[in-house]
Structure 1
Amino acid sequence: MKTETKTPPPVTTRTYVIEGLDCADCARKIEDAVQRLPGVQEARVSLATERLTVTSTDGSLGTDTLNQLLSPLGYRVRDPEASMPKPTPWYRTPKGKSVLLAGTLLAVGILTDILGLAESRLAYTLGTLIGVLPLARKGWANLRQGGFFDINVLVTLAAVGALFIEAEVEALIVVFLFLVGELLESIAAERARASVKALTQLIPETARLIQDGQEIEVPASELRPGHRVRVLPGMRVPADGTILEGESAVDESMLTGEPIPVPKGPGDSVYAGTVNTEGAMVVRVERGPEDHLAARILRLIEEAEATKSPTVRFIDRFSRYYTPAIVGIALLVALLPPLLFNAPWEVWTYRALALLLIGCPCALVLSAPAAITSGLARAARMGLLIKGGAALERIGQVRVVALDKTGTLTQGTPAVEAIQAPNPRELLRLAAAVEQYSTHPLAAAIVRKAQEEGIQPPPASEVRTTAGKFIEGQVEGRHVWLGSPRYAPAPVPDRTDGTAVAVFVDGKYSGLIVLRDQLRPDARQGIARMKALGIHPVMLTGDHTAAAQHVARELGMDYRAELLPEDKLRILQELKAEGPVAFVGDGINDAPALAAADVGIAMGGGTDAALESADAALVEPRITRIADLIGLSRAALSNIRQNIAVALGLKAVFLVTTLAGLTGLWLAILADTGATLIVTANALRLLRFTPPRLRA
């Protein structure tokens, strides 16, 4: 008898939009609740993009099931494709209405108190019960679903307990201050997300597609690689692509933070959402709507939040023990003094209730994720793509930056630097005549130099190339030979540390054309800024020693030359003795080094292999951006430390003062709310981070 093998159910991953998401503690609560559902393998919440990603074997899992689970906790779920609801003013939101109602009843209570009316106690009690009811519902839902004491439970216990000991005024003040804090936290979270949301909102809805010689307007979401679109002045580019026709200047500030438009022409890349400021362009689409740079940035931010940094993981573990410990201490404070020392029950119950409010870990849990989310959002707006909070933390710890030379420190395209000949123009004319038939980068540089000098190369015949050695041909009845000095027909005086092309006319040595890969315009400033940050820059290159020495001398940095990819890995291990090492590169051969370094940084325009292997990528290939990246990471690390100090410092102070009877319920909740707001506001400062510049 054959046993039938059951086919395992297919695993699906779906993404939902969450409404009502305010802080990292909310995100953790949602993840814990969803992961307890049958068939769910993983649930991830992105605070920055308000997305819930669920990997599950339950094909029927959808918004209805998730809303049944999460609505009692105060959250709503919808499909990303569903129409987005219009933004609601704060005073029309449930939180805003609760604040206004509780505030009104508090004002009524204070007024009746002043007038000496007995109804003041009723106003305070009614306000407390109305304000605490939704908190109690959410707290109970969390407990019923397997969660532990959260802030909703703690505030409910403190407020109801205060009513029992006839501290009605403080009960309502506690509830009112907590509701105000929640509302402000919600507004602050929305402000932090606005920077990220702006990326997608800048992508135009339509595009001018060129088809069969005609232009038709189509949704930008229908564009596919290979399509050609026309982008008129003032329009936003509808997709990542390459300019085929036209010259203009493009405002890329939404991706790079640089306000000055960048000159662009045929062959240059443009990105979705950037603004064409001058001439009309025809652009060939290179990436579809799901894969343009802005979409990739959003995916990186979502993945980054899923990859928790070491600090966030530590705080998560700490907070899971912190709250139960405080609840236990509060219980002991309420029971032991009255039982052991015959102390008044009302006094120590009051102090225990105040301690419950100190047990809320909101500010602590928020301290690192808020800073990391703001840091990642600011990085994205500066054209710095960072793959996770762990990478953001590591970048700030870097002490050595190793850089590839070609395509990283230099532009990767050789240019003629000098011509050593009695008649330089004539030598250039003859050389360009032969080289115009070659596709070699050195040949292109020689022809380009002739064009810059206004020289029209004559035609050549019988052109013959020996790959990697030389090219020769007949020009105006003369035999012209160009090639490496080592393959020259006769000895050549090599008087240069660049790349030399020897020129022979009719078998006689006529001169040298010296070419060199040009430094990037910002290379000197970029290296100087790294040094100002205490970073040790080192160039690692496979190029010959003379060329490497020249570049290193120009930039004032150490170098290692004539390296194979495995040599770079060995040297990276040696450099780690000085501290964490970052490697910056752009080519396929750089991928192993990018992966082996403590931090891999891929230059903009680099290969996909380099981008996949790196921990961070620069949208635009500028060396100064490396210092910006390190500076932003250090600012984020400093911000996290400040936030943790504020969160734990205020808790410690109020723990002592509450036990001593110096502070009460409303000050305890004010301390908690205040700490949360301070931490949030401090994290939001990173959205305005500006890299320090060198003094002239």
Structure 2
Amino acid sequence: MGEMRQTRFDVSGMDCASCASKIDTAVRRLPGVADVAVSVTTQTMTVHHDETTDLPALARKVSGLGYKTVPANRTPVKAAPQASACCGGNAPNDHDHESHGQGDHGHKHHGHDPDPANAATAPPSGLHGHDHGPMSGPWWASDKGRLTLLCGGALVAAYAVGHLFPPLASNAFLIALLVGLVPIGRRAIMAALAGTPFSIEMLMTIAAIGAVIIDAGEEAAAVVFLFLVGELLEGVAASRARRSIQALSDLVPKTAFLDDNGVTREVPADSLVPGNIIRIRPGDRVPADGDIISGESAIDEAPVTGESVPVRKTANDPVFAGTVNGEGVLRVTVTAAAADNTIARVVRLVEEAQEAKAPTERFIDRFSRYYTPGVVVVAALVAILPPLLAEGSWSEWVYKGLAILLIGCPCALVISTPAAIAASLSAGARRGLLVKGGAVLEKLGTVDTVAFDKTGTLTEGRPVVTDILAFTVAESDILRLSAALDAGSSHPLALAILARAEADSIVYPAAEGSAALGGKGVTGTVGPQKLFLGSPHAAAEIAALSAEQWSAIQALNDDGKTVSVLVIDGQVAGAIAMRDEPRKDARQALAALRAAGIRTVMLTGDNRRVAEAVGRDLGIDVRAELMPEDKQTIVRELKVQGATVAKVGDGINDAPALAAADIGIAIGGGTDVALETADAAILHGRIADVAALINLSKRCMANIRQNIAVALGLKAVFLVTTIVGITGLWPAILADTGATVLVTINALRLLRVRA
């Protein structure tokens, strides 16, 4: 196979996994195609192919099945090499990236040759029965809606004709049948020619024609109408699932107020580029990711991160597209183009995730390939063997065989898994929980050990002032003079002192002659006072510390805190203790994980004293003073012991451990979250969201089990009742359509769950 490329198409009208399967099978049969990923929820198809693939013919093939097909963009690219399992052409979507550490696997690189752009549109409507129109508007305005209403009207008219003119009843019902069956039959033929002979449309066509032959035309017409109603309900449900993702994109306003050399003008939000300065009014949604230049306001980040409390932000703080400005006017420098803002990245990740299949979904797909032909064989045996071997009535047993054909339609079974996974991915995304595919979502529910990084994961990632010790002067004076020495410094400890001074509204003077003493501290004068601020040992070289002072400092050190001592004119005046504090929800979140039977451990490169102090506060096992390769080794050791390990970190310096874990989870905020490194990501830095991810997986898998039970259970019941003569064609199609609708509705319940 030649140089691999990747092309992405928008395919409208897919409403269930059966649609995706027909498209997948048809496209895989074309020359040069190595792999296909079809997403019903996002209405997209990504094709991995070489230069020999005829893309216009590929688009016509999909359009011939009844789906409108257009290229997603026009940028030709090289696709990543595919694994051998992807090139066999037999197992759809076996490229689910189950190895860890892989990141964006497509949407930044989707493209195709320019040539097919104009040819990849739907063929004339006369070529096929096209009732696969998109469900973006009211259901009655869609192709499916119109066909269903027309078929229903024809059926009502047939009943009226049969009542008024009984001799014409048979012909009237035949006409009503043909109204719905002709488009279905066309789709069945196209699917068969494309490699899917046992499609739901083919089973329906055979059953309807057989019913007419045995003089059950009235039932056949009703069954076709009920089938169309079921398809319409599938379309409505699928549309709802799609809207849950589209709603994320709708959070970003269409326009922005650009500050152009002092003149403010309204421009399209998607025209903003990094470096632009925009003005955001109170109550407006933020149109782009950026950093605040001036202004202060409370930002409602709930639409993006799920954070229920508005976050107070001021100069130099980041803001994210889709969040809502509170009461203040903000001037913001744009840091990301529209195509790469927070919302766009979340949507892109969810779209990619929905193209990747979970192991359960792949198993159901493989099972259905044998299940459907098996149903056809069983139906044929039921129709033929009793009349041949037991002198049964041909009409009775053919009727039962036709009913079994309808009962055996695999729609509900095939959609049971992808519907639940799509709903779970969407629900998670709305809460800032991003999962890269069904395989990851399924694996999360089996995690029994979670390894956390410390700095920036369990802790805030920056030191804060925790204690002020006043030995000879007031606390406010210690903070005021220390801030004077640290003014203008970018050292993390200096920033912590300055932040505390600002929070306490301390006004500090300008120090003169400030100088940093390498490894010791900083000196300077404020008025007549000569000052030094630095480590206790460096301070002891200038002024003697009493035993009580050393004891107090040592107690703070034992708690993992860094202590800076302030010396004024050769006398120890006081001390300031600082520490990178745990996140506010860390203790409660870790307790919740332990209560769920999940082991937690901290893996950190920090010194043992600091790490153990934080570990004591949080009640977590600690492994400290580790290099990145040491963290990776520990994760592998845990796996060898039989644990299913999730590693939570920033996704960058923890990359080896994230890759070694069964599930790598990146934690962060906004555009800084390392989406490309891990298998899952927590957009907002809440430790509690680790448990939420695991719970999301468990709810999804429980929903899948329920769906499979409903799909197979209903079929089993109606199979028995049909063979014994209790039910017939009408209940058979209701069993299939009803199961599909029930499965879809059950999956959509996951959209309402706040993860």
> What TM-score comes out, normalization by structure 2 length?
0.85
Note closer, same or farther for the CA distance 1:254–1:512 as it changes in structure 2 (3 Å cut): closer
Q: Secondary structure at the match of 1:529?
A: helix
- Quick check: 1:447 aligned with 2:498? yes
- Determine which of 489, 495, 508 is the counterpart of 2:555: 495
User: Structure 1 residue 683: deviation in Å?
Assistant: 0.6
Question: Residue in 1 aligned with 2:578?
Answer: 515
- Determine which of 438, 453, 474 is the counterpart of 2:489: 438
CA contact (8 A) 1:108 1:120 kept: no
Note closer, same or farther for the CA distance 1:315–1:532 as it changes in structure 2 (3 Å cut): same
Amino acid paired to 1:558:
D
Identity of aligned residues (%): 51
- Quick check: 1:662 aligned with 2:726? yes
CA contact (8 A) 1:399 1:578 kept: no
Moved more, 29-38 or 661-670: 29-38
Note closer, same or farther for the CA distance 1:353–1:474 as it changes in structure 2 (3 Å cut): same
Note closer, same or farther for the CA distance 1:71–1:452 as it changes in structure 2 (3 Å cut): closer
Q: Secondary structure at the match of 2:166?
A: coil
Q: Secondary structure at the match of 1:336?
A: helix
Amino acid paired to 1:117:
P
- Determine which of 285, 288, 312 is the counterpart of 1:263: 312
> 1:130-529 alignment to 2 at 5 Å?
130-258=179-307, 260-422=309-471, 423=473, 424-490=475-541, 492-493=550-551, 494-496=554-556, 497=559, 498-529=561-592
Q: Secondary structure at the match of 1:255?
A: helix
Note closer, same or farther for the CA distance 1:454–1:199 as it changes in structure 2 (3 Å cut): closer
Note closer, same or farther for the CA distance 1:276–1:164 as it changes in structure 2 (3 Å cut): same
User: Structure 1 residue 642: deviation in Å?
Assistant: 0.7
- Quick check: 1:680 aligned with 2:744? yes
Note closer, same or farther for the CA distance 1:606–1:583 as it changes in structure 2 (3 Å cut): farther
Question: Residue in 1 aligned with 2:87?
Answer: none
Moved more, 206-215 or 529-538: 529-538
Amino acid paired to 2:555:
R
CA contact (8 A) 1:136 1:153 kept: yes
CA contact (8 A) 1:132 1:175 kept: yes
Question: Residue in 2 aligned with 1:3?
Answer: none
Question: Residue in 2 aligned with 1:579?
Answer: 643
Question: Residue in 1 aligned with 2:43?
Answer: 50
Question: Residue in 2 aligned with 1:536?
Answer: 599
Question: Residue in 2 aligned with 1:4?
Answer: none
CA contact (8 A) 1:489 1:507 kept: no
**Cα deviations by residue, 1:667-688 (Å, 9 ceiling, x for unpaired):** 1111011110011001100110
CA contact (8 A) 2:651 2:658 kept: no
Note closer, same or farther for the CA distance 1:484–1:31 as it changes in structure 2 (3 Å cut): same
Note closer, same or farther for the CA distance 1:227–1:248 as it changes in structure 2 (3 Å cut): same
User: Structure 1 residue 375: deviation in Å?
Assistant: 0.7
CA contact (8 A) 1:378 1:688 kept: yes
User: Structure 1 residue 420: deviation in Å?
Assistant: 2.5
Note closer, same or farther for the CA distance 1:514–1:250 as it changes in structure 2 (3 Å cut): closer
**Cα deviations by residue, 1:243-271 (Å, 9 ceiling, x for unpaired):** 11112233333323445433322222222
Question: Residue in 1 aligned with 2:128?
Answer: none
Note closer, same or farther for the CA distance 1:347–1:539 as it changes in structure 2 (3 Å cut): same
Amino acid paired to 2:43:
E
Moved more, 484-493 or 638-647: 484-493
Question: Residue in 2 aligned with 1:694?
Answer: none
- Structure 2 CA distance for aligned equivalents of residues 39 and 661 of structure 1: 50
Moved more, 11-20 or 296-305: 11-20
Unaligned runs of 5+ in 1: 1-7, 692-696
User: Structure 1 residue 344: deviation in Å?
Assistant: 2.0
Amino acid paired to 1:550:
A
User: Structure 1 residue 454: deviation in Å?
Assistant: 4.2
Note closer, same or farther for the CA distance 1:417–1:250 as it changes in structure 2 (3 Å cut): closer
CA contact (8 A) 2:400 2:723 kept: yes
Unaligned runs of 5+ in 2: 74-117, 122-132
- Structure 1 CA distance for aligned equivalents of residues 689 and 631 of structure 2: 23
Amino acid paired to 1:366:
I
Moved more, 606-615 or 572-581: 606-615
**Cα deviations by residue, 1:383-414 (Å, 9 ceiling, x for unpaired):** 11111111111122212222222212221221
- Structure 1 CA distance for aligned equivalents of residues 374 and 195 of structure 2: 18
Moved more, 105-114 or 224-233: 105-114
User: Structure 1 residue 183: deviation in Å?
Assistant: 0.6
> What TM-score comes out, normalization by structure 1 length?
0.91
CA contact (8 A) 1:12 1:59 kept: no
- Quick check: 1:33 aligned with 2:26? yes
Q: Secondary structure at the match of 1:159?
A: helix
Amino acid paired to 2:709:
A
Question: Residue in 1 aligned with 2:711?
Answer: 647
Q: Secondary structure at the match of 1:611?
A: coil
User: Structure 1 residue 575: deviation in Å?
Assistant: 3.6
Moved more, 389-398 or 579-588: 579-588
- Structure 1 CA distance for aligned equivalents of residues 710 and 416 of structure 2: 9
Amino acid paired to 2:710:
V
User: Structure 1 residue 190: deviation in Å?
Assistant: 0.3
- Determine which of 51, 64, 68 is the counterpart of 2:60: 68
Moved more, 296-305 or 581-590: 581-590
- Quick check: 1:690 aligned with 2:690? no
User: Structure 1 residue 611: deviation in Å?
Assistant: 3.2
CA-based RMSD of the aligned residues comes to: 2.7
User: Structure 1 residue 104: deviation in Å?
Assistant: 2.7
- Structure 2 CA distance for aligned equivalents of residues 647 and 45 of structure 1: 23
- Quick check: 1:126 aligned with 2:190? no
How many corresponding residue pairs?
683
- Structure 2 CA distance for aligned equivalents of residues 509 and 184 of structure 1: 78
Q: Secondary structure at the match of 2:340?
A: coil
